[in-house]
Structure 1
């Protein structure tokens, strides 16, 4: 019996060593985005999962995102530290006069020339640095001739738990373990658009966001990664309630043949048909009547509007505990991530001084 126990103890020890050896030797960082999670959604219902990360780390009352306050521009600004006019993703879809067509999600929208997202920067810093991108907008394209080592394309059918499980596998990969992973969730944005940010449906998804955050915490704990992985929880934008009195239907006043709608409200991009510009300007100059009775949620407004502001929480071995920082800008994330990863950022529009207070021992940098 003594011999049996000895063998068992040796086996367990070997397993522990193997798991430890599988982790990257570089700082570990997991960045999680919950699309459309407004900064004050924490006030709507209990969020013990999110609160656990908040109390264990650092948070800001809100973050100032970039204009337009939409998904693709803001996720790319988070990843690159650049304003939309610099990284080129000016909206969820735009009209490109060089090709004379509306460009939607794809290589045409994401001009990769001269752009270095954080996942690319990480991999270029050393041969044994590997990045993983789980559905993050813009993560499936080659930048500077480099693709992320791990990539999972957008698939709304993939359960949230499966996404977290795959991310854990990337961190623990036996030969090419990731040290940076970007993880994206599409809610509560979808529900807020359909039912409004004050709806019971959004309350339900705030709970689901909290549940998956709790699941993530459990996974990190069970795998002995909680004190090794730095976790950043954030969102790209907020959401405003749109009442019927604020809904205008352009097609009720102008023939559809006079224009093409490029991108949706509230920053409506309209491409006039030939010879129809004057008509459109005249009609838009007047106040439209109400044409809908639906209660909706909309984002894309001025990034100074409080309802457009997202949230920020960070926790992990590099992050101060039970700490609060002043609001900062979305473009500052790039400098924060670079510092946490121990790499030198490419030129960007962010200011490291705005976020260095998040870290226990911030690196010296301008």
Structure 2
């Protein structure tokens, strides 16, 4: 065969291939068209899913914003616009039945105008520092860590003494978030006047902090509170961001507790002190009325515990019962937490003390990890000593170097302090008060609610100023649910106090109170009503929005857009990955199809 000429068989084969390709061309076009429609459909699905994701994200963001930062209304007194504002006042040592001594006209009038239980139960131990921190955190003392007015921390290897601010006012001791931090974190300004723990620099500092002054004139407290309310609001002329009007004001009044310790809860002196504190409240109420703020500002008045009378005849000489040389540390007062030098001594000491308690009056004995009453909520913290001697109400435990009981009985020496608390928090003599009035408490005047414990106060104050509380042990929320009116129900039974030693005023007025802690009691223990949590309701008023709210709305918008952009980037990555996967599958399918031909 000559070069340049094709074989006839090759020519025939080429023609056959061309005819075959022409025959398959419509099918190829159809397959490519089908793949194009599939790709288009996939992209449409991706776009629809992405738009749905965006819409869902937007709606979820709106819902989250509504829950986290509810749109709060404001009130006006005719000259200034007020955001929800609450004054919380603690009357240290004000026993619930002090209201029935006919010496508190202002406070009794406040009860008739507001809403309150017969009494509020403190937490155990019923002493000042643990209960004041419970009031502003909603946590039991075992949870927030301030388990007494004095205690030992085995991890820090340090003592806490409430009388030593250089030690006690350090944040390491305070393990809960107080309400002034909760408020400031949510752009609600707080002013705290002498509240125990407020000088400890816990988290965000309150806008205003007044240091403790034990003998501050009561009139100064009224002037301070009213002066804070007189500051310009955000809409007022002369408003200054560095000196804003606070929405939360918490003030501490130590007078009743101080004089109750010095003179006893049934003394002439304490009646005078209670009357003076009541007059202070009357001046505050008048100041609010003069400013047309009676129905604008919430007022909540509480106390931290009650008070019981002491006597030399109701003392336990601890060193007559056990060998104190085996004890390394004692915590608390009037109850005693014992920390032996050797853990092996805990069980023998417990057995010895239990046997003594069975044969004599005045005290109970508990091991923290075995038989501590569950209702005390006083076992889940290493700061709680392993062994406790807890006196009955009105009794006290002493060691001889502090007070020799036998010698005192011989000479007629009177035990001081004349009044003591720290006992079983459910004993009638330890009962505290809670009374509230204002737009957050829109109840019939004189409404009565079930008795509750002071772990509930934190949530109620948060609700009253429109902030979200941190997790806590309380369950009660606004609105409160009255069970009737005080006037229409039988009067509260007044608890009978214990007898006191006869002593002249000059003798009674001298002692210096060294410590204050807690104790339980053998007595009838009232049942504390449990209240289910309810959705908080905010004060209903007109809808002015402050510049601060507008600024916050802008911040929320920026936060929402940042969140959306994050979702967009994630969706983009998802769509790109899906597209690449689909494309790879289509390309692979096409290659397989070509290979099969």
Q: TM-score, normalised by structure 1?
A: 0.83
Go from structure 1 to structure 2 and tell me whether the alpha carbon gap of 1:38 and 1:261 turns closer, same or farther (over 3 Å shift): farther
Go from structure 1 to structure 2 and tell me whether the alpha carbon gap of 1:59 and 1:275 turns closer, same or farther (over 3 Å shift): closer
Aligned-pair CA distance for 1:195: 2.2
In the alignment, structure 1 residue 171 sits paired with structure 2 residue 293 = no
Name the CA distance, whole Å, in 2 between partners of 1:197 and 1:59.
23
Who is 1:56 aligned against? 113
In the alignment, structure 1 residue 33 sits paired with structure 2 residue 90 = yes
Q: 1:154 aligns with which of 212, 223, 227?
A: 212
Tell me the SS of whatever aligns to 1:122. Answer: helix
Name the CA distance, whole Å, in 2 between partners of 1:74 and 1:308.
12
Name the CA distance, whole Å, in 2 between partners of 1:109 and 1:302.
28
Q: Which structure has the bigger radius of gyration?
A: 2
Aligned-pair CA distance for 1:40: 0.5
Go from structure 1 to structure 2 and tell me whether the alpha carbon gap of 1:122 and 1:250 turns closer, same or farther (over 3 Å shift): same
Q: Which runs of 5+ in 1 are unaligned?
A: 1-16
Aligned length: 341
Name the CA distance, whole Å, in 2 between partners of 1:280 and 1:109.
34
Name the CA distance, whole Å, in 1 between partners of 2:173 and 2:89.
24
In the alignment, structure 1 residue 303 sits paired with structure 2 residue 360 = no
Q: Does the 8 Å contact 1:38/1:235 carry over to 2?
A: yes
Aligned-pair CA distance for 1:227: 2.1
Q: Which runs of 5+ in 2 are unaligned?
A: 1-75, 163-167, 233-239, 361-396, 398-403, 483-532, 538-597
* RMSD, aligned CA: 3.0
Per-residue Cα deviation, 1:108-145 (whole angstroms, up to 9, x for no partner): 576345x321111112112xx210110011112333x3
Per-residue Cα deviation, 1:303-330 (whole angstroms, up to 9, x for no partner): 1211111011111232222211111110
* More divergent stretch after superposition (347-356 vs 337-346): 347-356
Name the CA distance, whole Å, in 2 between partners of 1:336 and 1:84.
19
Who is 1:10 aligned against? none
Name the CA distance, whole Å, in 2 between partners of 1:162 and 1:102.
34
Q: TM-score, normalised by structure 2?
A: 0.53
Pairwise mapping of residues 72-83 of structure 1 onto structure 2 (< 5 A)? 72-83=129-140
Aligned-pair CA distance for 1:20: 3.5
Tell me the SS of whatever aligns to 1:95. Answer: strand
Name the CA distance, whole Å, in 1 between partners of 2:343 and 2:116.
52
Who is 2:535 aligned against? 364
* More divergent stretch after superposition (103-112 vs 299-308): 103-112
In the alignment, structure 1 residue 244 sits paired with structure 2 residue 302 = no
Who is 1:134 aligned against? 193
Q: Does the 8 Å contact 2:137/2:455 carry over to 1?
A: yes
Go from structure 1 to structure 2 and tell me whether the alpha carbon gap of 1:261 and 1:164 turns closer, same or farther (over 3 Å shift): farther
Aligned-pair CA distance for 1:82: 0.7
Who is 2:181 aligned against? 120
In the alignment, structure 1 residue 210 sits paired with structure 2 residue 278 = yes
Aligned-pair CA distance for 1:270: 3.4
Q: Does the 8 Å contact 1:197/1:241 carry over to 2?
A: yes
Aligned-pair CA distance for 1:272: 3.7
Q: Does the 8 Å contact 1:19/1:172 carry over to 2?
A: no
In the alignment, structure 1 residue 312 sits paired with structure 2 residue 434 = yes
Aligned-pair CA distance for 1:211: 1.0
Who is 2:289 aligned against? 221
Q: 2:265 aligns with which of 194, 197, 200?
A: 197
Tell me the SS of whatever aligns to 2:335. Answer: coil
Name the CA distance, whole Å, in 1 between partners of 2:209 and 2:275.
27
Q: Does the 8 Å contact 1:141/1:147 carry over to 2?
A: no
Aligned-pair CA distance for 1:166: 1.3
Tell me the SS of whatever aligns to 1:212. Answer: helix
Name the CA distance, whole Å, in 1 between partners of 2:147 and 2:124.
9
Tell me the SS of whatever aligns to 1:151. Answer: strand
Tell me the SS of whatever aligns to 1:357. Answer: coil
